[in-house]
């Protein structure tokens, strides 16, 4: 009835310790139609890292050419290296009807929204700063100073939630996952993605 | 974490024979938090009809007073009688955190959107005119002329789908129900309904 509807680009951000990894793991376990965008970087691969898995490893020239040709959905520089999202694999998946998740810092999220106005952006919100702190401490391995720094960073990131389309609370894992699934499902029923169906149904008279 | 979030007002329209009744029955069977808005009318009750169940039965004066005082979300006149949606019970349910369904003609739907900009409107779309026709004929009791008239009316109503927020295909019942449930769930996570949470989470430092 609908043919292959183009997939959705889901931009997902959360503050450090916000539990994004756990939520995504569960999403991918439940939804075979979902794909995770792989970032590109100019930093050298670490032992065990495979090109196209953790990152696409590019030279600085390659990366800058891609920027120049509009081949990066977003990018940033961090300690002397580029990090970004190659556009081509994302577009390919979307054309195939896959939904694609872009896990991204709040700064990158703003760039994507400009380049892909059709994307859906979700901020994964910790239920409270106390919970966030206890999650960060729960990792056990972090020094107090590191936890403080991450909390401070989270405090700067959370106000950016006001630039996202949706806010999902990461309180109970199953609720957060169900919320994200509902958002994907509902967005596909939005008028602007279904205008053509009106003529199509009428033409079947 | 969220307190009692105000419920959602779901405005649902479908052409005649669009299967709205079946979909709603299944929605209500699955979701105890959902309420169905009861219309008011000035037409006299038929045998067996109970005030507050099929309709609220009002005198013409009562109905016109309610219109004048803003007590009707929408109304229309039909063969000499008023039909409309009383605002008070809807508001009460929404305040209690219930979601309320307003089953409504496409004309009424436009009025509700003006009066309740926060409502969510869904047009239930038949998969094709052929399917609609076979559903109308499937009832068995209708004469050919009646079926033709209903199809013609549906043909006039379907272009109004372009004024709704979402279009849900009524092809497979379980898909349509799941779409509507996803829309309710996703809408509750929209930024504009969760702006206050940003300050609230930050204040828990």
Give CA B137 to chain center in angstroms: 25
At residue A1, the pLDDT reads: 45
C-alpha A100/C-alpha A88 separation (Å) is 12
Tokens 């026709």 correspond to B133
A192 in contact with chain B, both atoms CB, cutoff 8 A:
no
Question: Is residue A69 in a domain?
Answer: no
**A165–B190: do the CB atoms touch at under 8 Å?**
yes
Question: Is residue A191 within 8 Å of residue B167, measured between CB atoms?
Answer: yes
Please give the structure tokens belonging to residue B183: 């829309």
- Express each pLDDT in B27-42 by its tens digit: 999 999 999 999 999 9
pLDDT, tens digit, for every residue of A176-195? 999 999 999 999 999 999 99
Asked, for residue B192, whether it belongs to a domain, the answer is yes
**What six digits make up the tokens of A75?**
């990018």
Element (H, E) at A115: helix A106-115
Confidence (pLDDT) at B66 = 96
Look at residue B61 in the predicted model and tell me its pLDDT: 97
Cα–Cα dist B26/B38, whole Å: 18
CA-CA distance, B51 to B63, in Å (whole number)? 14
Confidence of residue A174 (pLDDT cuts 50, 70, 90): very high
Q: pLDDT band for position B87 (50/70/90)?
A: very high
Q: Residue A126 maps to which CATH number?
A: 3.40.50.300
pLDDT band of B126, cuts 50, 70, 90: very high
What is the DSSP code string of A60-114?
Answer: HHHHHHHHHTT-EEEEEEETTEEEEEEHHHHHHHHHTT-EEEEE--HHHHHHHHH
Among B17, B124, B167, B170, which would you mutate to test the A interface (most chain A Cβ atoms within 10 Å of its Cβ)?
Answer: B167
Confidence bin at A111 (pLDDT 50/70/90): confident
Q: Residue A125: its pLDDT value, please?
A: 95
Torsion angle in degrees (nearest 10) through CA of A174, A180, A185, A189: 140
- Please give the pLDDT value at position B40: 96
Q: Say whether residue B174 is in contact with chain A using an 8 A CB cutoff.
A: no
CA angle (A79 as vertex; A129, A124 as ends), nearest 5: 30
pLDDT value at B205 more than 70? no
Interface probe with A: pick from B189, B193, B200, most Cβ of A within 10 Å:
B189
Residue B79 resides in a domain: no
Of residues A181, A189, A198, nearest to B168 (C-beta): A189
pLDDT of B204: 74
CB A1 within 8 A of CB B171: yes
**pLDDT reading at B193 higher than 70:** yes
Where does chain A show beta strands of DSSP type E?
Answer: 9-13, 34-36, 40-41, 56-57, 72-78, 81-86, 99-103, 120-125, 166-169
Structure tokens that stand for B89 in this block: 């019970």
Contact between A103 and A61 under an 8 Å Cβ cutoff? The reply is no
Q: Is residue A102 part of a domain?
A: yes
A51 within domain boundaries: no
Confidence class for position A141, pLDDT limits 50, 70, 90: low
C-alpha B11/C-alpha B157 separation (Å) is 15
Res A37: pLDDT: 94
- Structural domain boundaries, residue A162: 9-37+98-202
Number of structural domains found in chain B: 1
**Averaged confidence pLDDT in chain B:** 90
Could you read off the pLDDT of B171-181 as tens digits, one per residue?
999 999 999 99
Shortest distance between the Cα of B38 and any Cα of chain A, in A, equals: 26
Residue B15 has pLDDT above 80, yes or no: yes
Which range (A142-151, B146-155, B186-195) has the least confidence? A142-151
> Could you tell me which chain B residue has the CA closest to the CA of A181?
B182
A75 falls within a domain: no
Give the confidence band of A205 by pLDDT, cuts at 50, 70, 90: low
**Residues in A touching B127 (Cβ below 8 Å):** 1, 201
CA A103/CA A39 separation, integer angstroms? 9
For residue B1, what pLDDT is reported? 44
Q: Give residue B186's region: left, alpha or beta (phi > 0; psi -120 to 50).
A: alpha
Is A47 a member of any domain?
A: no
Name the region of B97 (left: φ>0; alpha: ψ -120 to 50; beta: rest): left
Average pLDDT of span A24-35 = 95
* Interface mutation vs chain A, best among B113, B164, B191, most A CBs within 10 Å: B191
**CA-to-CA separations, A186 to A75, B165, B198, in angstroms, rounded:** 29, 10, 24
Interface predicted TM-score (ipTM)? 0.89
Render pLDDT for A45-72 as a digit per residue (tens, 0 to 9). 999 999 998 899 999 999 999 999 999 9
- Round to whole Å and give the CA distance between A121 and A118: 10
Give the contacts of B1 (CB within 8 A, at least 6 positions apart). Answer: A127, A128, A169, A171
Return the H-helix or E-strand segment holding A146. Answer: helix A144-157
Question: What is d(CA B92, CA B25) in angstroms, rounded to the nearest whole number?
Answer: 22
Mean pLDDT computed over B43-70:
94
Over 50: is that where the pLDDT of B77 sits? yes
A130 contacts in chain B (CB < 8 Å): 204
Average pLDDT (B188-202) is 91
Q: What is the pLDDT of residue B113?
A: 82
Alpha-carbon span B101 to A185, nearest angstrom: 20
Q: Given an 8 Å threshold on Cβ–Cβ distance, is A164 in contact with B129? A: no
B84, part of any domain:
no
């Amino acid at each position: 009835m609908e043919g292959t509807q183009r997939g959705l680009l889901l931009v997902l951000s959360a503050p450090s310790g916000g539990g994004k990894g756990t939520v995504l793991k569960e999403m991918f376990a439940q939804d075979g139609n979902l794909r995770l965008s792989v970032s590109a970087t100019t930093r050298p691969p670490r032992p065990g890292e495979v090109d196209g898995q953790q990152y696409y490893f590019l030279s600085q020239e390659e990366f800058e050419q891609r920027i120049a040709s509009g081949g990066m959905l977003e990018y940033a520089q961090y300690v002397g290296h580029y990090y970004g999202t190659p556009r081509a694999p994302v577009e390919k998946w979307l054309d195939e009807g896959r939904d694609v998740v872009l896990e991204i810092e709040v700064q990158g999220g703003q760039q994507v929204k400009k380049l892909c106005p059709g994307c859906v952006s979700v901020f994964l919100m910790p239920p409270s700063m106390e919970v966030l702190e206890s999650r960060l401490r729960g990792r056990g391995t972090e020094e107090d100073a590191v936890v403080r720094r991450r909390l401070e960073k989270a405090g700067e990131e959370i106000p950016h939630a006001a630039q996202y389309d949706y806010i999902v609370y990461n309180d109970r894992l199953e609720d957060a996952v169900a919320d994200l699934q509902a958002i994907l499902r509902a967005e596909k029923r939005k008028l602007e993605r279904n205008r053509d169906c009106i003529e199509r149904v009428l033409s079947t008279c």
